[in-house]
């Protein structure tokens, strides 16, 4: 995400050395500010947890919320399987560059081990405040990043998905999400209160598999599903307007 200083960006986490099988997939806690105008990279205070493949959301107050990411992969030591470790506690980077841990919001289901939820968690600013989280399974959450944070789970569910499928907020409070079986659903979080359940509507099926694909909002408001696939990489366009009016 962009930092409060216009034109700069944050590089958060990563892996120690993706070419070395010993360190491949082991997360880093490093945080770097990138300034393309001066072609400079500046190290800033590190996170509390190493994170490989985390997600970040720029909050309305210009702080940065970081979710998920893997700390260490599974390994086999002396015939014993060591389970992977993930960062299931979010953190917030203040405008001053220092971090605080949202100790009250630790969750395996929202952005931890459950169904690979640590892998690029999907999250957006909620129109009524805080952050909406759409998991790779069927659950949805609201996170309030104030202080040590609070995490609330919605009582309704969405169809199951995969960490390999994309979602996008194409309009304020409205999300298009690709779920399992090529199904596309619309999730509306423009509710009167953050605790109110999102409204979910089916909008048909994609013609092709879109694992590792992308979604892009076009100038006319439609969403372009492109890239990815199972065997063949193809692209098609899904119009959000038609989906709502059809």
* Burial of 50 from C-beta contacts in 10 A (0-12 / 13-18 / 19+): buried
Segment 108-123 shows an average pLDDT of 95
- What is the C-alpha to C-alpha distance for residues 126 and 144, in angstroms, rounded to an integer? 10
- What is the C-alpha to C-alpha distance for residues 218 and 120, in angstroms, rounded to an integer? 23
What confidence score (pLDDT) does residue 92 get? 98
Q: Is the pLDDT of residue 216 over 90?
A: yes
Strands 122-125 and 131-134: antiparallel
Structure confidence by residue, pLDDT tens digits, 37-88: 889 999 999 999 999 999 999 999 999 999 999 998 776 555 555 678 999 9
Residue 69's nearest CA partner among 21, 22, 123 is 123
Q: Could you tell me which residues come within 8 angstroms of residue 59 by beta carbon, excluding any fewer than 6 positions away?
A: 65, 92, 125, 131, 145
Q: Could you tell me which residues come within 8 angstroms of residue 244 by beta carbon, excluding any fewer than 6 positions away?
A: 186, 201, 203
What confidence score (pLDDT) does residue 75 get? 66
Q: Are 243 and 186 in contact (CB under 8 A)?
A: yes
Structure confidence by residue, pLDDT tens digits, 156-170: 999 999 999 999 999
> In the block, which residue shows the tokens 């499928």?
165
Q: Is the pLDDT of residue 124 over 70?
A: yes
Q: Could you tell me which residues come within 8 angstroms of residue 29 by beta carbon, excluding any fewer than 6 positions away?
A: 13, 46, 47, 48, 49, 50, 51
Q: Is the pLDDT of residue 35 over 70?
A: yes
What confidence score (pLDDT) does residue 26 get? 87
């Amino acid at each position: 995400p962009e930092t409060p200083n216009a034109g700069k960006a944050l590089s958060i986490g990563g892996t120690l050395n993706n070419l070395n099988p010993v360190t491949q997939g082991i997360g880093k806690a490093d945080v770097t500010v990138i300034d393309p105008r001066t072609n400079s990279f500046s190290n800033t205070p590190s996170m509390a947890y190493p994170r490989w493949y985390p997600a970040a959301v720029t909050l309305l107050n210009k702080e940065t919320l970081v979710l998920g990411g893997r700390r260490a992969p599974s390994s086999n030591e002396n015939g014993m399987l060591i389970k992977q470790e993930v960062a299931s506690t979010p953190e917030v980077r203040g405008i001053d560059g220092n971090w605080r841990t949202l100790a009250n919001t630790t969750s395996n289901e929202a952005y931890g081990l459950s169904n690979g939820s640590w892998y690029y968690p999907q999250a957006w600013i909620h129109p009524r405040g805080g952050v909406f989280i759409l998991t790779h399974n069927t659950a949805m959450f609201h996170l309030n990043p104030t202080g040590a944070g609070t995490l609330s789970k919605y009582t309704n569910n969405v169809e199951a998905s995969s960490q390999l499928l994309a979602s996008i907020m194409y309009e304020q409070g409205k999300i298009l999400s690709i779920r399992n079986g090529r199904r596309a659903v619309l999730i509306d979080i423009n509710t009167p209160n953050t605790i109110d359940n999102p409204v979910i509507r089916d909008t048909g099926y994609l013609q092709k598999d879109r694992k590792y694909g992308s979604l892009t909002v076009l100038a006319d408001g439609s969403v372009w599903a492109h890239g990815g696939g199972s065997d063949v990489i193809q692209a098609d366009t899904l119009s959000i307007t038609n989906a709502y009016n059809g």
